Chains A and B, each alone.
Chain A
C-alpha cells in the first residue's frame, strides 16, 4: 500500500524582521535618492573615529553570522517542531518515507539542506520564496535525482541561470517551476535552455516571448489599435 503523502511543513519564518537586515546586504546598491540620513552620519563618524568603525564592523559580523546560527537552531527544530506537542505523532511517522516537503518561505540555507537531502524518497519539493536558497544550494540537489518529480523554485531572490544549469541531474523531474526569479538575467532565453536541458519535464516560468522586442508591423498595429480619446 502506498505510504500517505506526509507533507511536513517547516516552522513558519519567525524572524521576518531579521531578514530585512540580511536582505539589505543582498539588495543592489541603493539609489542615491533614498533618505538614509542616519546611515550617512554613521558613515561620517566611522570615517573619522576608529572606535565607531570597529563597532560597525563587529555589528556587521554579528548580523552576517545570525543567519547561520538561526539555521542551526532550525535544524534541531526539524526533528521536534513545536516543543512536545507533535513529537508523539512524528515518532509514529518515523518509518514513513517522506514524499513531499513544502519549505516555502523558510530560511533554509546550504547547511540546512542536509536534512532535506537525507530524504531519499522525496518526490515533491517546494522551495518557493526562500531567501537564502542560491545557486550553491541547487548544486546539492543532484542527490535527489532518483526520486524527485516536482520542484518549485518560484520567487527565490538569489537563484540565477547558473544554478539552474545544475538541475540537469534531475532527469526524473516532471514539473519544474522557475517563475519570478529576479536574479535570472534573461528569463525567456533561460526558459528555452532549461526546457532543452530537461526534455521530459514541464517547465513553468516566464513566457518565452517575454523580453522580446516587437517587430515593426506589430508595433504599428498596436499604435493603430489603441483608441485615441476624442
Chain B
C-alpha cells in the first residue's frame, strides 16, 4: 500500500490526471494562476522587487551610483562606456532615466544619420574619427550573446561641401586641419567637380571638399537599439520616468586666493513615474545630463544659472531645442548611386535615400526664421520657399520633384558656439554634461560617451582632450566655434 501511495504521489500522472478531469476553462485559469504565483515567489526572494509594505516593482531603484538623465544615443553611450571602463565588473550601478520609451521626439531617431570628419575644430574631427571606427567594428563593441549582429546600413558615400568665393579660404584651412588629424578629404575645383558629378550646377562654386572615406550616413535607430540591448546586458537599469527635482546640499568654501565659492552636491534625483503622480527619490553619487534638446530645462531644475548674471553661479546652460525639418522627395531624373551628401553654400543639403530615386534633405533657417519649437509639426511652405529654390539651383534635375514625406526633429542647439558641452560643472561637483551638440551629436556619440566616462572614472580626459568643450567656457567667454555646421 505504501508503494502504491508513493507511486501515486511521485508519478507525473497524479497532478496531470487531476487537472485533466477539470473542464477546459478552469485548466487555463489554473495555468495563469501558476505563473502568477511563480512571479510572486520570484519577487519575494532576495533580489526581487517586492517589499513587504508596498509594491515598488514599477519604480526605479532607491539607490544608484550614476543617474543618466536621458536615454538617447548620448546617454546610452555614456552608460556603455561606464560599464566598459569600470575597474571591476559590476562595480558601478547605472540608472538611465528616459521619459519617452518610444523615442517619438528624440533627436537620435529623427536624425538624417550622417557622419563626417569635415569639421573645423580638431577635437570634432578626432571625435568623429573614433566614432566611425566604433561604427565599423560595432559588432565587436556591442556583441551580445545569442543576439544577431547589427546591420547599421552604412552608406560610405561621403560628404560634399561646396564653397562660394568668400568661403573658399576657410574651406582650404579646414581641409588642412582635417588632413592633419587623419581624415581623407580631397579638394576639387569646379571643373573637376563638374566632371565627377555631371548633375551638379557649379555656378557660384569656387571650391568643393569631398570626403573619400569614413563618411556617409547610417541608420540611427539600429545604433540606438544595439546600444540599448548591449547596455541592458551589461546590467544598466532603465527607468521610464521623468526627472522632476534634484535635492542637493551646499558647501561654502574659499579658494586659495580667498574668494568665496558655494559648491553644491546633488544627493537625490526625484523621478516621476509616467502617467502617475508617484515619484521615487533615487539617491545617487553622480548625475549625467544627456537629455538632448531638454538639457537646458533639466539644468535649470538643478539650479544651474540661478544666481546674479555675470557670475559663474549665474551662468546658464545655453542649450535649447531648435526645430529642423527633413523632407523626403522623389525625383526620377535625379543623381544616381554615386551621390554623396551634398551641402550647398546656402545651407541646404540633401542625400540619396535607397535605390528608388528618393532623396532626403533640408535647410537650417537663419536666426530670424527659426520656427517655434513647441511642437514637431512640419511646415510644408518652408520647403517651397526656402529649400527648393536652393536645391533646384544646385541640381537642375530637382526642378521637377515631388515631396513624399516630411518630419521635424529637434537640434539640441548650443546658442553659445554650436558645439557640445562635455564634462563636469565647476560648481555642482557631481554633475556632468554630454549634450548641446547642435545637430552633430549622433555622429560623435560613441567618442563623447567614452570621454565622459573617462572624466568620471579617471578625473581627466585620456584619449581625446575635450577641454575646449567644458562648461566653464560659457563663463570665461571662450568660444569653441565650429564653422562647418549643416
Tell me the minimal C-beta distance from B351 to chain A in angstroms. Answer: 11
Q: Which residues of A contact B155 (CB under 8 A)?
A: 135, 162, 165
State in angstroms the CA–CA spacing of A43 and B145 once bound together: 9
Is A26 close to B, CB under 8 A? Answer: yes
| Cross-chain contact B214 with A193 (CB below 8 angstroms) | no
Q: How far is the CA of A43 from the CA of B89 in the complex (A)?
A: 21
* A142 to B216 CA separation, bound complex (whole angstroms): 15
Total number of residue pairs linking A and B with CB closer than 8 Å? 78
Q: Does A91 lie at the interface of the complex (its beta carbon under 8 Å from any beta carbon of B)?
A: no
Known: A60-B145, A197-B337, A197-B338. A136 touches B154 (CB 8 A): yes
- What is the chain B residue whose CB lies nearest that of A164? B337
Determine the distance from Cα of A125 to Cα of B336 in the docked complex, in whole angstroms.
25
Answer whether residue B149 sits at the interface, using C-beta atoms and an 8 A cutoff. yes
The answer to the question of A224 belonging to the interface, with a C-beta cut-off of 8 Å to chain B, is: no
Q: Let me know if A53 and B145 touch, CB within 8 A.
A: yes
- Tell me if B212 is interfacial: C-beta within 8 Å of chain A: yes
Which residue from chain A places its CB closest to the CB of B153 in the assembled complex?
Answer: A162
- Scan B89-122; emit 1 where CB is below 8 A from any A CB, else 0: 1000000000000000000000000000000000
Question: How many chain B residues touch the partner (CB < 8 A)?
Answer: 25
Does A139 sit at the interface, judged by CB under 8 A? yes
- Chain A residues contacting B154 (CB-CB under 8 Å) are 135-136, 162
Residues of chain A within 8 A (CB-CB) of B216 are 139, 162
Contact between chains at B139 and A25 (CB < 8 Å)? yes
A56 touches B145 (CB 8 A): yes
Contact A194 B337 (CB under 8 A): yes
Contact A60 B143 (CB under 8 A): yes
> How many angstroms from the CA of A138 to the CA of B213 in the assembled complex?
10
Which B148-207 residues have C-beta < 8 A from chain A?
148-149, 153-158
For residue A226, CB closer than 8 A to chain B, the reply is no
For B157, what are the chain A residues with a Cβ–Cβ distance below 8 Å? Answer: 162, 165-166
Determine the chain B residues whose CB is within 8 A of the CB of A65 once the complex forms.
Answer: 140
Residue of A nearest to B145 (CB): A56
Flag if B146 contacts A43 (CB, 8 Å). Answer: yes
Q: Does B136 contact A (CB under 8 A)?
A: yes
Q: Mark A55-75, 1 if CB is under 8 A from B, else 0.
A: 011001100110010000000
Closest partner residue, chain A, to B158 (CB atom): A166
Known A43-B146, A168-B338, A169-B212; judge A64-B156 contact (CB<8 A). no
Question: Nearest residue in B to A63 (C-beta to C-beta)?
Answer: B143
Judge whether A162 and B336 touch: CB under 8 Å: no
Contacts of A27 in B (CB 8 A): 148
B212 touches A161 (CB 8 A): no
0/1 string, A14-29, CB within 8 A of B gives 1: 0000000000011111
A201 at the interface (CB under 8 A from B): no
Q: A124 on the interface (CB 8 Å rule)? A: no
Binding site for B on A (CB under 8 A): 25-29, 39, 43, 46, 53-54, 56-57, 60-61, 64-65, 68, 110, 135-136, 138-140, 142, 160-166, 168-169, 185-186, 189-190, 193-194, 196-197
Contact sample, A vs B, 22 pairs, CB 8 Å cutoff: A25-B148, A25-B149, A39-B146, A46-B146, A64-B143, A135-B155, A139-B212, A139-B214, A139-B216, A142-B212, A161-B337, A162-B154, A162-B157, A162-B216, A165-B337, A165-B338, A166-B158, A168-B337, A185-B355, A189-B355, A197-B337, A197-B338
B residues neighboring A (CB under 8 Å): 89, 136, 139-140, 143, 145-146, 148-149, 153-158, 212-214, 216, 233, 336-338, 352, 355
Q: Shortest 7 CB-CB distances between A and B: which pairs?
A: A139-B156, A168-B338, A162-B155, A193-B337, A165-B337, A56-B145, A29-B148
